[in-house]
Chain A
Amino acid sequence: MKKKELAALFMAGVMSLGLLAGCSSDGGEASQPPASQAGTQSSQPNGGDGDTQGNTETVTIKVGGIGPITGDLAQYGLATQWGAQIAVDEINALGGPIKLEYDFQDDTGVTDTAVSAYNTLKDWDVDVIYGCTTTAPCVAVASETFADRYFQLTPSASSPDVTADKDNAFQMCFTDPGQGMAAAEYLKNSSLGTKLAVIYNNGDAYSSGIADAFITKAAELGLEVVSTQTFPDDKTTDYTVQLNACKDAGADVVFLPIYYTPASLILAQAKQMGYAPTFFGGDGMDGMLDMEGFDKSLAEGLLLMTPFNASGTDERTVDFVTKYQADHGILPNQFAADGYDCMYAIYEACCQIDGIAGMDHAQLCDALIAMFTGGQFQVDGLTGTGMKWLETGEISKAPVVVKVESGVYVTQ
């Protein structure tokens, strides 16, 4: 009886709290729109810079970024956020006709949160969407931006689904199939080995997208793939079974279209079991050498396709790397570099648009699409020079294969 009463009391407590919370929720919701309205009003003068172009020469473009900055994928999202931030600061310091205002919202790498993040940016009166970092959320957001007419440029969401049937979505990175096919072609023309194996993450769109295209293309080119191994999650810790299968099949080249975290474990475990084929990776592998505590000798001889080289010696790369390291204490990887290039692509395209001052986001979207697909527009950045975009939204830049020699990339 006593227990029952206690339970009833507990329920009453919870209920009343729920009711109280319910009231505050109504209050919260009612007060929310005015707050956001206040937000839009206060931001109106900013956006209005464009309308009152007669007075000032600068036009402010609001760029809203989306990516995971908490959770499992935080390191990738933060890289895209930080890389872009450096470009934004540089652009605003230039004092050119266009200024960028930048906000970045967390999507935790999840579809529904990404859509909420996008809507938060809409409430902020965003002009251009930069993101998402990861593929699945990007596909969902791209179909929203397509319907709402926002221009979207993603630094790293590499599936063709991101741009498929949408004229407004563009990529800064290679597409997954493009990368898989380039890898197969490279292996065909090189003399690295004759028996190939693939280990990929079959729970990840990026990894399986590259792997599928690689396997198809390899068959087309007459390359022999002796073993195809998968793992379900980037948090998988043990790859010995997969490596053993590759070893037993006699593979002398192992293609790893995966991110650097699992790849670093694969390299360590291969060394431990005394298996030393040539490992060949995609752009997700970039960043491995910068992992704190990583034994660089493990990666000796590793080949990877990356558009960005943090140990590059050209002035712009050195400058970027120095700033990034000063701000965040780690070396930037290709996610950060792609993010940096995205901002410059947006900025340079905006600079070339006539009459940008009075445009709303939909007009800007159409103008940017025309610019990106016009054939004339090209951008020089950290991840390539003379980068152009195809009608499909895909980027056209040359894939670069690098080899790790004594802990640095050497272009092949």
Chain B
Amino acid sequence: MKKINKNSLNGFVNYGIIIAAFIVLQILIGKGVLSNSLQSLLVPACCYIVMAVSLNLTVGILGELSLGHGGFMSLGAFSGIVASILLQDLIPMAPVRLAVSMVVGALAGALGGVIVGVPVLRLQGDYLAIVTLAFGQIIKNIIMVLYVGVDETGIHVAASSDRFVLAPGGTAIIKGPMGAVGVAKLASFTAGAILILITLLVVQNLVNSRSGRAIMALRDNRIAAESVGINVTKYKLMAFVTSAALAGAAGALFGLNYSSTVASKFDFNTSILVLVFVVLGGLGSIRGSIIAAALLYVLPELLRKFDIAEYRMLIYAIVLILVMLATNNDQLKSMLGRIIPKRKGAVSNG
């Protein structure tokens, strides 16, 4: 009982951090002290925070390595863009249209999660990892040859440009390798912050529920969990699909933040980037994911301040390696362990 209280307290702290950060940043924007470059990072940073928290559900809580999280983001981005353009006349209010598009993105992500999850969740470890990687590549490849448009006769979908004919006055939404262009920018920092809060609500409630404990039992010892009657497929799928749906919503927000989006953006490197956030933040630690995603997404941009141009990404790589070495250094860990009260360690585990 005491443990649960601690967990929910820990969850409230996370909401508090997000809300406080949001308010502080809004004040800074209002006062005009936040530079343009930092302002432009707010929405994508929100997307990556949601990506990291949702991937943490798969990697940290469920304990399965996924290298295809970018694929779900891609599904969400493109379905969200299509939804927002189709609903242009039906829902003139931008925030409502954004919300609906994000729901569509989440549904697309969830659908992708089910399609991948049902057959492959029986695989384990690196084999599951490679299948998720393969899935990400397949999504990228399919969207690259996909043409979607709308005219007065309805929605047109084609797999090549010569079969893609729109009546005059029609709008092409996704144009194969050119991706989606001419997208109205609907995303806002407020929407991003709300999405993070919703994500926290979903993930933290799942983790602290009966199902969440079943999922963690699977991670810690699958055979023991199975022997006490936990349905492996059901709980694995639950975590995996939730994670995919949140990634889809984040993708929709991301896609609606730029006037053009191409499928190659959501490649292996994007999936890896999110994984880096999760591991650096600490497996299973939701707060860690939030902080790591925010910091590491902003870091390469902050490095622009220094006049290093070509060395920028080199320094990023070195920082990444050093942080990994430092966080896993036994002496450093025991030193920090003495400073930080024991309570924290226990909580972040849950």
Contact = CB atoms under 8 A, between A and B. Distances in A.
Interface of A: 4, 7-19, 21-22, 25, 28-29, 32-37, 69-71, 104-106, 108, 110-113, 115-120, 122-123, 135-136, 139-140, 142-144, 159, 161, 164-165, 201-205, 207-209, 212, 215, 232
B340 A140 contact: no
B41 interface: yes
B288 A18 contact: yes
Contacts of B320: none
Interface in B276-325: 280-282, 284-285, 287-288, 291-292, 294-295, 298, 300-302, 304-305, 309-310, 312-313
Interface stretch (B119-127, B222-230, B328-336): B328-336
B40 A11 contact: no
Contacts of A116: 37, 40-41, 301
6 tightest A-B CB contacts, nearest first: A143-B259, A12-B345, A14-B282, A139-B260, A8-B345, A33-B33
B268 to A, nearest CB: 12
Given A33-B33, A69-B310, A161-B260, A8 B291 contact: no
Contacts of A143: 182, 185, 259-260
A304 B207 CA distance: 60
A25 to B, nearest CB: 5
B190 interface: no
B157 to A, nearest CB: 17
Interface stretch (B101-109, B171-179, B231-239, B241-249): B171-179
Contact of A70 (B162, B178, B310): B310
B295 A21 contact: yes
B304 A120 contact: yes
Nearest to B183: A143
B310 to A, nearest CB: 6
Contacts of B332: 13
A9 B334 contact: yes
A208 B176 contact: yes
Contacts of B144: 202-203, 232
A143 B35 CA distance: 20
**Residues of A contacting B: mostly:** helix
A106 B315 CA distance: 14
A140 B259 contact: yes
B8 interface: no
Interface in B33-90: 33-41, 44
B266 to A, nearest CB: 11
Given A8-B349, A10-B327, A123-B36, 16 more contacts: A12-B333, A14-B327, A15-B345, A17-B326, A18-B288, A22-B295, A29-B34, A33-B28, A33-B38, A37-B33, A71-B313, A104-B309, A118-B40, A122-B37, A140-B258, A232-B141
Contact of A215 (B145, B162, B328): B162
A270 to B, nearest CB: 24
Contacts of A203: 144, 177, 264
Interface in B259-275: 259-262, 264-265
A8 B346 contact: yes
Contacts, number: 191
Interface residues on B, range: 35 or more
Contact of A161 (B178, B254, B257, B292): B178
A13 B176 contact: no
Contact of A9 (B178, B309, B337): B337
B348 interface: yes
B291 A25 contact: yes
Contacts of B176: 202, 208
21 contacts: A10-B333, A11-B348, A13-B336, A14-B348, A15-B345, A16-B340, A18-B282, A18-B288, A18-B292, A21-B292, A29-B38, A32-B34, A32-B35, A69-B309, A69-B310, A70-B310, A71-B313, A106-B310, A115-B40, A119-B36, A212-B161
Contacts of A113: 300
B260 A111 contact: yes
Contacts of A117: 304
B93 interface: no
A161 B183 CA distance: 11
B181 interface: yes
Given A18-B281, A71-B313, A205 B262 contact: yes
B256 to A, nearest CB: 12
B339 interface: yes
Contacts of B141: 232
Central interface residue in A70, A120, A136, by most chain B CB within 10 Å: A136
Given A32-B302, A120-B304, A205-B178, A11 B260 contact: no
Contacts of A104: 309
B161 to A, nearest CB: 5
Contacts of A25: 291, 294-295, 298
Given A9-B333, A13-B333, A205-B178, A119 B345 contact: no
A212 B178 CA distance: 12
Contacts of A110: 265
A394 B35 CA distance: 33
B296 to A, nearest CB: 10
Contacts of A15: 282, 285, 287-288, 340, 344-345, 348
Contacts of A161: 178, 181-182, 260
Nearest to B326: A17
Contacts of B35: 32-33, 36, 119, 123
B291 A22 contact: yes
Interface in B120-169: 141, 144-145, 161-162
A355 B195 CA distance: 48
Contacts of A144: 259
A134 B29 CA distance: 31
A114 to B, nearest CB: 9
Contacts of B292: 18, 21
A21 B339 CA distance: 16
A232 B260 CA distance: 20
Contacts of A13: 327, 332-333, 336-337
A70 B182 contact: no
Nearest to B263: A203
A111 B261 contact: yes
A11 B177 CA distance: 42
B60 to A, nearest CB: 10
